[in-house]
Structure 1
Amino acid sequence: MKTLNSIFSKTLVAVLAIGMFAFTGCSTDSTPEVGTLEVKLHDAPADFDEVNVFIERVEVNNTTNEEQGWQVISEPNQQFNLLELTNGVFEVIGEAELETGLYPQIRLILSRDNNSVVADGVANDLFIPSGAQTGVKLNVNAEIEEGIVYTLLLDFDALRSVHTTGQSPNMDYILKPVIRASNEALTGNVGGVVSPVEARAAVFAIAGEDTLSSTYANEDSGEFLLVGLEEGAYDVSVEPREEGFGSEYLENIEVTLGETTDLETIELTVENNE
């Protein structure tokens, strides 16, 4: 009897071992595939001293439901002067690993407070109607792939976004955000130098009747960089902001993905006002 029990026990152990091996061998790795989303903020220039916007959170959505599916990728809780983010200067406001897939939307949750416009040295309140509740939503259709960094450029156009209210002194300006989103990997840039620097030139990239990127040339060096342009041909307009200088208009400037087209030095004529 002991011999039979011993044989039965050994057989049972062997069966269990084989079963555990089979279970382990057939199991799949449940770890989801992930990629990285990086969000960069930059701005088109505006004729203010400062445009300060306080960003509380950055969120993305991997569903088509605008009320559900939002997940936080960063919480900057920080004020940004948009006018410091021009001429090729960026601020990374979010970076996170996400499960692979399509993310149709991104939104910025803005504070109702701590936003301001400084004009002619005077600070004014900047009112944001719904930024703290529903956020500023953008359709981006960001495709996150395994092991790949997807860099999203947000061009926050302060010039088109800030409006005067003409109402109470505590609500002089209102923000109606105009933001253009693009995949950095699918864009290129246009750069160069404007001379003389005293012209304090504004530079525009134009396609048809639309201005797609703009900046002010650096007031010390005259250098400029127009960023986030899709591949194709653009006209580049250079307009002085000071009197006594002529403008320049360059046609059919080609932009190539991942590259900067160098226009070298653009000379503005000095007008004789005598």
Structure 2
Amino acid sequence: MLLKKLLSISFAALIGMSLLIVGCEDTTIGTDADGTGTLEVLLHDAPANYEEVNVFIERVEVNNGETEGGWETISTPEQSYDLLELVNGAMEVLGSAELEAGTYEQIRLILSSDGHSVVVDGTEHDMFVPSGEQTGIKLNVNAEIEPGITYTLLLDFDAARSVVERGNEQSGIQYLLKPVISASNEAVTGNISGTIEPVDAQPFIYAIADSDTLSSTKADTSDGTFMLVGLEEGTYTVSVDPTNDAYQTSDTTGVEVTVGDTNEIGTVTLSETQD
């Protein structure tokens, strides 16, 4: 069931690399209104059945034109991020920079050629990055930077889809990192939160619209709380899929999301599996 739902990520998420972001309406003051604004880039994650997924990001760049010469560096993190820590609303700031007002059509993440790893059953394995990915992961965002305004861009790094296993137990498994990332403008999104009981169900939670999974997370293992972030306004089904086979799946339909708000759906109590 879990694999099926992870593979049901919407076509829109599959083409997250070319996602268009509508103009920002955020009124947060980012700089003096002198023809410049601020672009802030936040990283979060869709969960995966690994213990760690570590990705080393060297720098973040934006492009204000259609040519390669338009690239401008906004940050140089030069550090590793465990994507699986960035769930339930947890974010990492990849960069924040003052930019000239205008439309920035693309953003790209430059990954290191090494330094990536995945932890499976307590063992850390290196992840190989195909040569094409080393030149930068590009996303079409069309971010409208306005004077005196902060535009916050959310990058959803889908760990489950980005880690590719090759080989088998006999020949040896090799892990590839082929990033699948989608982007959204925080100013036009909302969230869904709640609590899953019992905690030992350890479920994955999905926000589904028209049979497409548009956001996912894993409930906190200490208290069962969860948050699904970066959702466009609309009506969703919240599907809870336990990793503990002792409990049944559960769907909550008709969950509304409005821009700028978090819809708290309360506690979802899972039933035990019948023998």
Determine if the TM-score, normalized by the shorter chain, exceeds 0.5.
yes
Contact 2:60/2:76 (8 A) holds in 1: yes
Contact 2:57/2:78 (8 A) holds in 1: yes
What amino acid is the match of 2:258? T
Q: How many residues align?
A: 242
Using the alignment, how far apart are the partners of 1:157 and 1:252 within structure 2?
25
CA drift of 1:170 comes to: 9.1
CA drift of 1:130 comes to: 3.4
CA drift of 1:172 comes to: 1.3
CA drift of 1:129 comes to: 1.5
Using the alignment, how far apart are the partners of 2:120 and 2:273 within structure 1?
30
Q: TM-score, normalised by structure 1?
A: 0.85
Task: Tell me the residue number matched to 1:232.
Answer: 234
* 1:26-37 map, 5 Å: 33-37=35-39
Task: Tell me the residue number matched to 1:110.
Answer: 111
> SS in structure 2 opposite 1:244?
coil
Aligned pair partner of 2:47 in 25, 29, 45: 45
* 1:19-168 map, 5 Å: 33-65=35-67, 67-130=68-131, 133-166=134-167
Using the alignment, how far apart are the partners of 1:209 and 1:179 within structure 2?
20
Relative distance call for 1:154 and 1:110 in structure 2 (3 A) is same
RCO higher in structure (CA 8 A, sep ≥6): 2
Using the alignment, how far apart are the partners of 2:97 and 2:126 within structure 1?
32
Using the alignment, how far apart are the partners of 2:65 and 2:81 within structure 1?
29
> SS in structure 2 opposite 1:165?
strand
Using the alignment, how far apart are the partners of 1:43 and 1:143 within structure 2?
24
CA drift of 1:87 comes to: 1.1
What amino acid is the match of 1:181? A
Contact 1:216/1:224 (8 A) holds in 2: yes
Structure exhibiting the larger radius of gyration computed from Cα positions:
1
Contact 2:34/2:148 (8 A) holds in 1: no
> SS in structure 1 opposite 2:248?
coil
Relative distance call for 1:34 and 1:202 in structure 2 (3 A) is same
Using the alignment, how far apart are the partners of 2:87 and 2:218 within structure 1?
8
Aligned pair partner of 1:267 in 246, 266, 269: 269
CA drift of 1:252 comes to: 2.0
Relative distance call for 1:111 and 1:132 in structure 2 (3 A) is farther
Task: Tell me the residue number matched to 2:218.
Answer: 216
Aligned pair partner of 2:177 in 164, 175, 196: 175
CA drift of 1:209 comes to: 2.5
Contact 1:40/1:93 (8 A) holds in 2: yes
Greater mean deviation of Cα atoms: 243-252 or 141-150:
243-252
Relative distance call for 1:74 and 1:62 in structure 2 (3 A) is same
Q: TM-score, normalised by structure 2?
A: 0.84
How big is the alpha-carbon RMSD for the aligned residues of Structure 1 and Structure 2?
1.8
Using the alignment, how far apart are the partners of 1:136 and 1:130 within structure 2?
11
Task: Tell me the residue number matched to 1:3.
Answer: none
Relative distance call for 1:248 and 1:170 in structure 2 (3 A) is closer
What amino acid is the match of 2:53? V
> SS in structure 2 opposite 1:190?
strand
> SS in structure 1 opposite 2:66?
coil
